[in-house]
Structure 1
């Protein structure tokens, strides 16, 4: 009798959920009807990408900011209900957000 069988005997109602699908991560963040605005600006001569227009909880937006920064391997911050990413990553950010189910609108250039 291996460990899995012993655990099934001890906890018969438990359903093992070892799947790490992207669909599980979609349900964490609230999706909205209005599009998220993806802007490009230059501050002090350096390019930045700004995401704004999210109407859900700020904790969800912070999670999204952290996930974008880690996937793109760039710096950034979350201030005043905006995500500020260092560099011009509009195309990559838009594809990531669209794969998550968000509606994204590109503004500026």
Structure 2
């Protein structure tokens, strides 16, 4: 069995340096695009969730706080629970059509993906 080669991501985001003059470069904070410049996709999924159905919104470009704010808006309007993970909004239940209408009223470009 071959050993897996470790990469930088396996170190948990740490960077080690023996250079005394080393300065940490901060990653650029991704700014949130205005709604008309956003292209979102509304997906239906039940994989890896014990058969539970969810609606997944992908493609959001912006800060984590703005993503959570949008997720909260969708959860309140649909009256269901949900969360954010890996820059995606996960809404419990199959609410794709309703979410597409809500997002379009907010000015987002939304595409319904899947069956």
Question: Could you say whether these structures have the same fold, taking a TM-score greater than 0.5 normalized by the shorter chain as the test?
Answer: yes
User: Of the candidates 105, 109, 113, which is equivalent to residue 99 of structure 1?
Assistant: 105
1:48 equivalenced with 2:54 (yes/no):
yes
CA distance in 1, matches of 2:73, 2:34: 15
Q: How high is the TM-score relative to the length of structure 2? A: 0.65
- TM superposition score normalised by structure 1: 0.69
The CA distance in 1 between the partners of 2:104 and 2:54, in whole Å, is 20
C-alpha RMSD of matched pairs (Å): 1.5
Out of 90, 96, 101, the position equivalent to 1:84 is: 90
Q: What is the CA–CA distance in structure 2 between the aligned matches of 1:77 and 1:32, rounded to whole Å?
A: 23
Gaps in structure 2 of 5+ consecutive residues = 1-32
Q: Give 1:34 deviation, angstroms.
A: 4.5
Q: Secondary structure at the match of 2:76?
A: helix
Q: How far does residue 32 in structure 1 lie from its aligned partner after superposition?
A: 4.9
1:1-109 equivalent positions in 2, closer than 5 A: 30-42=34-46, 43-109=49-115
Give 1 or 2: higher helix fraction: 1
Aligned partner of 1:18 in structure 2 is none
Count of residue pairs brought into register by the alignment: 81
Q: Structure 1 segments of 4 or more deviating over 6 A?
A: none
